[in-house]
Every structure is written in structure tokens, then in C-alpha cells.
Amino acid sequence: MKAALLVFLDKYKYHFLTWSVFICYEIIIKRIGYGDQTPFKNYIFHYTVNVSIFYLHANFLLKCDLKNRSKVFKYSLIFLIPFELLLFVIFKYAGDSIFYQYIGVKETAGFIIGSRNYYIMSIWRTVLFMGYGTGYYFLKYNQQQKDIVEKLKQQELQQIILDKEIKNELILTQNALLRAQINPHFLINTLSYLYNETRKQTPKAAETILSLTDIMQYALSKEESSGYIKLEKEICLIENFLLLHQTIQPEQTPLKISYNKEALSILFIPLLLMTLTENIIRHNQLNTPLKPAEIKIRYKNSILCIETSNHEPIIEHPDDRDTGLKNIVKRLFLAYGENATFYSNLDTENYFYTCTRVQF
């Protein structure tokens, strides 16, 4: 309660200060200029009513009426102000009668309660504080409009700065993209030159260079507008990758890959086959001919099925494999939703199987 009161006093401290100065000014002028000897306690009800007129007129009547977009409400202000004036005069008369009867006084500010001069003074004071309230309302409204305009200017300035930063970042990105395109193409041209120079003298090395060139070109190629790529290109990438791997480690048994023709034209998310292939090569014992690794790709009845099988030694860090598999599951879900399923299993003979099924 105390904290709330302190917050209220801090919020309206300038209101209290202004009213204190104004009331003191009026009392001093009355006593010194006009010789008014009204007891100070008589001012309590008098200024309570006047200050109430000020805030009720500004924060209730004008705020509710002028902010209403209906023309009926705006034109009704002409009738509401006289009605408001009448209500305040009646309330002031009733309040003065009760208050001054309670303190044993029959007149206020030198006027007998209920006399003609009393009503004239009451109307004048009511109109005066309604005028003060009107000025306060428009002053406050004008300040609010200025704050809104200033806020909009700040937002516009921030947007201009943001647009400029985005434009600069876009230019930097475009330059980086051009450099990224130039550098790999330079590497591809270099590989092509090496291929042409070595194919006659060392054909095997030339074939390895050619496989690496194809992989680089695939990495630089653009996907379809839908974000998918033909499975034929993915298979070609895997075959080049396996050829390169076989050249580097000729003692290992080749990983077998088989597919039917119907699967070649299917649009599929890129590099998912590469993830499965890398997973096999990384964790498989390819030096055991009796336990070969294999990838089978089949498309039939609008269902694409990719199965892998490989014999694994005891893996010291299974989390490395699981990370790649989790990535596959996420990509399948994002691309195909519930139309895609992924299954993996390690049997008792340490054969690791995966099965990817997509319903098109």
C-alpha cells in the first residue's frame, strides 16, 4: 500500500506542485487584495470541487467525446457542456449547503448560499475550471501526438538504418558468393587440366581426378526450384565418391549399390544418400569380403525404399553415428512429413540396417 502511494505521488508530483502554487496564489490574492477573511478550512471543500471539475471535464467528458469517431458524439458536446455545467452547479450547491452547515457557516466567499450572486460565482468558477480542464486536455493531447510523431520518426530512422545494413550485407554476401563461385571453378579447371595431362601416362590417376571433378561439379550445381534433385544425380555422386574411396583404399571391399530404373527420375532431397554412404564407410569393416556392405534403392507403387546394410565393429563413439541418423530423420520429416519413415537396427551379429521409405 505504501509503495503504491509513493508511486502515485511520484507519477503526479507536478500536478500536486502546480495545484499547490495555484491555490496558494488565489488565497494570497483574496486575503491581501480583497481583504477576504474566510477561514482556511472553508477552502477544503471549495477547491476539492473545483479540482474535481477540472479532471472530470478533461479526462472523462472531453476524452470520451472527442476520441469517439462517431459524428453524433462530437456534435453532442454542444449539449453535454451545458448539462455538465448544470450538474456541477447543483452538486456544488448541495455540497456547500451540507459542508457549511456542518461547520456552522451560512455563506461562502462573502456570498450567501442560494443567493443570486452565489449562483453567478458558482457558474463562473465552474466555467473557469472547465476552461482550465479544456486547455489541459488539448495540451496533453498535443504532447501525445508529438510523442507519436517522434516515435514514428525514430522507427522510420531505425528502418532506414536497418535497410542500409541489409543492403550492405547483401553486397558483401554477393561478393562472397562470386568469390565462392570463382575459386571452385578455378579448382575444377585445374583438375580438368591435370586429367588431360595424366590420362595417357597414368590412366588410373586420371580416372581418380575425373571422379573428384564430378564431385566438385555436383557440389556447385544448383538444385531444382523445389529444393529437390533427381535421384540419378545423387547415385552418380555416390558412385564417384566410392570410386575415389576405392582408389585411396584399394584393400577394402567395394560397397555395393543397386537400384532400379524407376528410381532414377525421382526428385529427392539432396545429400541424404551421401550421409548414409559416409555412415557406412566410417563405421563399417569393409576389409571383410564375406560381410559386404550394400545400398539398395527401389521405387515401386509410388514408394521409394532405400535400404542399407553393413557389418560394424564395436563402436567406441556411437553418438557420432547417431548424430548423422538424427539429421536424416529431421530432414525427412521437414521434406515429407508423415509420408516418410526411417528405421535403423543393429542385430545380434553386429549387422547394422537402415530403411528409408517415402510415400509419393
- Tens-digit pLDDT profile for the chain (360 aa)? 677 778 877 788 888 888 888 888 887 887 776 666 666 666 777 788 888 888 888 887 777 777 666 666 556 767 777 777 888 877 777 777 776 666 565 555 555 666 777 778 878 888 888 888 888 888 888 888 888 889 998 988 888 888 888 877 776 776 665 555 545 555 666 666 566 667 667 776 767 777 666 666 666 665 544 578 889 888 888 887 787 777 767 666 678 889 999 999 999 988 888 888 888 877 666 666 667 788 999 999 999 999 998 887 665 555 566 777 888 888 888 888 899 999 998 888 888 899 999 998
Give the tens place of pLDDT for each residue, 146-203. 888 899 989 888 888 888 888 777 767 766 655 555 455 556 666 665 666 676 677 7
**Residues 354 and 307: beta-carbon distance below 8 Å:** yes
Classify domain 255-359 at the CATH superfamily level. Histidine kinase-like ATPase, C-terminal domain (3.30.565.10)
How many CB atoms are located within 10 Å of the residue 304 CB?
20
How many CB atoms are located within 10 Å of the residue 57 CB?
24
Give me the pLDDT at residue 296, please.
Answer: 93
**Residues 131 and 62: beta-carbon distance below 8 Å:** no
Give the tens place of pLDDT for each residue, 299-328. 999 999 999 988 876 655 555 667 778 888
The CA angle 286-287-289, to the nearest 5 degrees, is 90
- In what order do the strands lie in the sheet containing 351-359? 256-259, 294-300, 303-311, 351-359, 340-346
- Domain extent listing, the chain: 13-155, 255-359
Element (H, E) at 141: helix 116-198
